Chain A
Amino acid sequence: MRTFFLLAVLLLARAAHADPTVLAVKGDDVFVDLGAADGATAGAQLRLLHVVIAKDPTSGQTLRDRFEVGTLTVARAGDHVLLAHPEDALRGKVVVGDEIALASAPVAYVDPWQQRVAAAAGTPAPATDDDAARTVDEADAARAVWQQTLGLAPAERIAKWEAYLSERPQSPYAAAVKAELVSLRAQAQQLDRAATARAAAASGSLDDDRTHQLALALADLIPSAARTGPLVDAAPTTALPGRPITLAFAIVSPARVARAWLYVRPRGKAGFEKLELAHDGDAYLRATIPASLVVAGGLEWFVEAASAKGEPEAVIGDQRSPRVIDTLEDISEAPIASGRSRVAARLEYVDFDGKLGGGHDQYYQAEFDFTYRFLQPVHAIRLGFGTLSGQGGPKDIIDADPTGQCLDASGTYSCRRVDFSYVYTEFELRPSKWVGLMLRPQAGLLTTDTRPMSSGRCRGGADTSDCDFGKGLGLRARVRFGEEDGTNLVLGVGFTSGVGTLIEADYQWAPRPVVPVTLAVQVTDQPVPEDFGVRIIGDVGWRGMSWVYPSVRVSYQARDIDHAGISGGLGLNFDW
């Protein structure tokens, strides 16, 4: 734009008439077709004249006059055009076409170009008419090229001057033009370097020296930035699980970081995921760790970088000692999980002597419990209430008494009745998927009645003689091999003071998904600690609905081959 403006001024100057006028106005710059050849040099004063043209209404003549409206000061002067600045009062009032008059005394002009040419050629200024004519021709040609170069880039100006020299190798201006070419080539190189730097900055390739100086200054401000690696960072050390992490690194040694990669993995997992870091801004690398890698337990990461021709090297952390971002504790509440809870009720009648109500070795047991599977840190917890009520005694006496009253040879009643109401809490640990450990402390009220034929007397009645009231404390431990809901084997042992011992082995499986089956073998002296017997139990359920599971139990038990009975029970489980 500015080039066009100058060309317009020059063209106007070529067409200038005898009275100097304002050729162009650009801000405070006023161009006038007056030059050093006219005696106007830098510092000279000019008068600005407004021209008034009017027609005399009486004579019909056209009248023209000029009025001085202010002064301008010459800033620079060419041969025939000068640049002047108006005084403050004139600012904004100068218009193209205003006439100008030289206010200062004219100054004798010596063409500095010709002086320079003459000095470079080592010859005196032209003296003859032919020489003068030739010099004028050379000067016009040189001036023409000079005017063509105005506004052009150094490279284009160089081309034009080189063309001039090839056409006029003997020009008296050749030496000056060559000197000008040296200068122009230096400018061109400087511009090329600057352009290269800008392009490099824009494309991510960085000015190493400049950035390095900045890095040193940054290290003075922030001690943590003083490191030997090519990158510095302030990566977060904690993050919320499930949320992406944006990482950014400042580059302090660009030459070592033509490319860089971020390696990330969830902590403890095998194999890092490789993400390329993108150059950004003045001197940065950025990448985003996807949310899928930001999991509970934290993540590990390191950065590798490579120079333009070098091999990748670890620059922050490394594969063996990666940096760590801990994930914050996940406080989100897990959705309600089905299948975690069970309410179970079991009622069983156990007849060891086969005489049902007429015998002396029977009991019933009922248990009602609630289970919730926390999974962690305790797999499950079970709270329950139970009652065991029955009678028992030495099997030899029971079997030997022909009266069926449990009397020994001396006629002493040898059996006793127990009522045990108890509560229990069972904790289940699961060290592996295939093994479950269950521990169940229990405590309750134990009533023992040693009077014959007195069912329920001690539990409610005025006569409590021969009744013993106490606490029954017990412990039961079991281990399960196999999955809880699949085929498994449970081995257990339990003991309750005043009630007896129970050793058990349960084998559970489901021949059909809706028909869970349990086969069990128990060794026990319950309901009173006397002779041990063996129980063989079959329990078959029906899981026709997902949330309820009834079962039927049949058992055979014996303390010896003649002291045996068959009995059964019911169960009902609710699963949510």
Chain B
Amino acid sequence: MNTLVVLAHLLHIPPGSARPGEPIELVAVIDAPAAEPALVVHWRAIGGAIWRDAPFERSSAGGWYATIPAASPPGVEYYIGEPDHAHFASAASPQQITVEPELIDRLEDQERARTRDLPDQVALDLEGHDFGNRYGHSDYYARAELSWTHRFLRTLDAASFGAGGITGRTPSMDGADATIDPRDARYGFAAARLRLAPAIFVDARATVGVSQEGFMKGFGGSITLGRPWRSNLSFGGEALDALGGSAFVRLQWDTAPPLLMGASIVRTDLPGALVSADGLLLRYDVSYTVAARFTIRGALSYGARDGSAHFGGGLGTAIAF
């Protein structure tokens, strides 16, 4: 016996994308809605296994609305109707609504994966340089720092807190008759690293402590063009009340894994040089990740301030957790 079946007819504008964390509202108009007991959106996360339902509900203002809960990247896929009569798409060929993550979210995910979700690090670094002196006087410094760093992996990429000390000797004046002044400082510092772009980092640091002249304050900063864990160019500086200023430009390259190498040109007044402000050195450093959590570093420097060039170097280690 022939029966006249009137099918519902549904029209909506399939959204191509959605914002993360915001529900997705589908707005439709339906012709002959009574012909089907329930019009339902079937949805699931892209690549997911379980379909969930969101019914279309009639609004007093007209139209039919179905809401897919807030989705996370990469998005959701959906179809409308039943397997024997799909109004739009199908379970076998659902329509995707992409949810593009914010840039900072993508960067965070990427970095979290790279660091194996170990956001904290404790590092100990020792370094020093003997500048020598044409009169044979002592002119050197040694510096040690212990720091704890936590990575937030957002625009505020990391924050550090630590303590350090500087010990050095430098001639009090030019000439053979100069005395040798001790130069020492003990300090604490706080630092922050901002990730302004995927490959632009800015570091800022504030230091307070004491030196042979009393209270000491200082600040520093640097800009890194490139990722700190990959090849990059960075430059920056530091100023400490009684111990003078430093500036550097550093080139780092990752072309010899697992080694990460860097070369720096450093102009420094450490440890508070009085005879000349022209301390220049070239420093080569290399770091090696021994294990997932454990890194060791070494550095070799060569440079002069007042007289022929001399060597220096450094050692360091870091443990992530």
Q: A112 at the A/B interface (Cβ < 8 Å)?
A: no
13 contacts between A and B (CB under 8 A): A153-B2, A201-B9, A221-B27, A234-B15, A249-B14, A284-B14, A328-B100, A331-B110, A341-B261, A370-B253, A385-B303, A445-B278, A460-B133
Nearest CB of A to B268, in Å: 12
B255 lies within 8 A of A337 (CB): yes
Give B1-18 as 1s and 0s: 1 = Cβ < 8 Å from A's Cβ atoms: 110111101111111110
A250-B11, A383-B282 given. 11 additional CB < 8 A pairs?
A: A2-B1, A191-B4, A217-B63, A247-B16, A250-B12, A281-B86, A286-B95, A339-B255, A372-B231, A385-B303, A460-B135
Chain B residues with CB under 8 A of A459: 134, 307-308
Interface of A is mostly: mixed
B9 lies within 8 A of A214 (CB): yes
A129 to B263, CA, bound (A): 129
Nearest CB of A to B11, in Å: 4
Which positions in B face A, CB cutoff 8 Å? 1-2, 4-7, 9-17, 27-31, 62-63, 74, 80-81, 86-89, 93, 95-96, 98, 100, 103, 106-107, 110, 132-136, 175-176, 198, 226-227, 230-231, 233, 249-257, 261, 263-265, 276, 278, 280, 282, 284, 302-309
Q: A239 at the A/B interface (Cβ < 8 Å)?
A: yes
Q: How large is the interface on A (under 10, 10 to 19, 20 to 34, 35 or more residues)?
A: 35 or more
Nearest CB of B to A110, in Å: 30
A250 to B88, CA, bound (A): 10
Chain A residues with CB under 8 A of B1: 2-3, 151, 153
A443 to B29, CA, bound (A): 74
Please give me the 8 A-B residue pairs with the lowest Cβ-Cβ distance, nearest first.
A385-B282, A236-B16, A248-B14, A236-B17, A370-B263, A281-B88, A576-B255, A217-B29
Give A256-284 as 1s and 0s: 1 = Cβ < 8 Å from B's Cβ atoms: 00000000000000000000000011111
A370 to B306, CA, bound (A): 25
B308 lies within 8 A of A460 (CB): yes
B-contacting 9-mer, from A38-46, A138-146, A419-427, A477-485: A419-427
B88 lies within 8 A of A282 (CB): yes
A444 lies within 8 A of B98 (CB): no
Chain B residues with CB under 8 A of A286: 89, 93, 95
A243 to B5, CA, bound (A): 41
Identify A421's interface contact among B17, B80, B256, B280, CB under 8 A. B280
Nearest CB of B to A427, in Å: 10
Give A213-250 as 1s and 0s: 1 = Cβ < 8 Å from B's Cβ atoms: 11101101110110000001111111110010111111
A425 lies within 8 A of B304 (CB): no
A469 to B175, CA, bound (A): 12
B62 lies within 8 A of A282 (CB): no
A194 to B95, CA, bound (A): 29
Nearest CB of A to B184, in Å: 26
Q: Which residues in chain A, 492-518, are within 8 Å of chain B measured between CB atoms?
A: none
Known contacts A2-B1, A194-B4: A225-B13 contact under CB 8 Å:
yes
Nearest CB of B to A96, in Å: 23
